[in-house]
Amino acid sequence: MVDLAGLELKELEDFVESLGHRRFHAKQLYRWIWKRGVTDFAQMTNLGRDLRAALGTAATVSTPEVVRRDVSEDGTQKFVLRMADGRQIESVFIPDTPAQTFCVSTQVGCAMGCAFCLTGRMGLVRNLSAAEITAQVRLLARTLDLLDKSFNIVLMGMGEPLHNYDATMKALRMLNEPVGLALHPKRITLSTVGLVPMMDKLAQEPLMPNLAVSLHAATEETRGAIVPLNRKYSMQDVIDACKRFPLAKRRRIMFEYVMLAGVNDSNEDARKLVKVLAGVKAKVNLLPLNAAAGIPFERPDDARVNEFAKILVDRGLMVSVRKSRGRDIRAACGQLIVEGQGRQSAAQRLAAEL
Domain end position, chosen among 60, 79, 94: 60
Window from 44-48, 112-116, 261-265, 324-328 with minimum mean pLDDT: 324-328
> Does 224 share its domain with 266?
yes
> Does 341 share its domain with 201?
yes
> Does 157 share its domain with 37?
no
The C-alpha angle 67, 170, 325, rounded to 5 degrees, equals 45
Sign of the four-CA dihedral 142, 70, 215, 323:
positive
Window from 59-68, 106-115, 193-202, 320-329 with minimum mean pLDDT: 320-329
Domain end position, chosen among 21, 39, 60: 60
259 and 289 Cβ atoms separated by less than 8 Å:
yes
> Does 334 share its domain with 209?
yes
User: What is the Cα–Cα distance from 15 to 29, expressed in whole angstroms?
Assistant: 11
DSSP string, 8-53: -HHHHHHHHHHTTS-TTHHHHHHHHHHTS----GGG-TTS-HHHHH
pTM over 0.85: yes
Catalytic positions, written as ranges: 90, 333
- Residue 146 belongs to a domain with what CATH number? 3.20.20.70
Percent of the chain with pLDDT over 70: 91
Residue 142 three-state SS: helix
Domain end position, chosen among 60, 84, 109: 60
> Does 176 share its domain with 137?
yes
223 and 246 Cβ atoms separated by less than 8 Å:
no
For residue 272, what are the domain limits? 65-351
> Does 300 share its domain with 284?
yes
Q: Is 66 exposed, middle or buried (0-12, 13-18, 19+ CB in 10 A)?
A: middle
Percent of the chain with pLDDT over 90: 84
Q: What is the pLDDT of residues 77-111, one digit of tens each?
A: 999 999 999 999 999 999 987 789 999 999 999 99
> Does 7 share its domain with 31?
yes
- Residue 27 belongs to a domain with what CATH number? 1.10.150.530
> Does 77 share its domain with 94?
yes
Domain count, the chain: 2
> Does 233 share its domain with 311?
yes
232 and 353 Cβ atoms separated by less than 8 Å:
no
pLDDT value of residue 122: 87
When pLDDT is averaged across residues 2-27 and rounded to a whole number, the result is 98
> Does 175 share its domain with 303?
yes
> Does 107 share its domain with 6?
no
> Does 37 share its domain with 106?
no
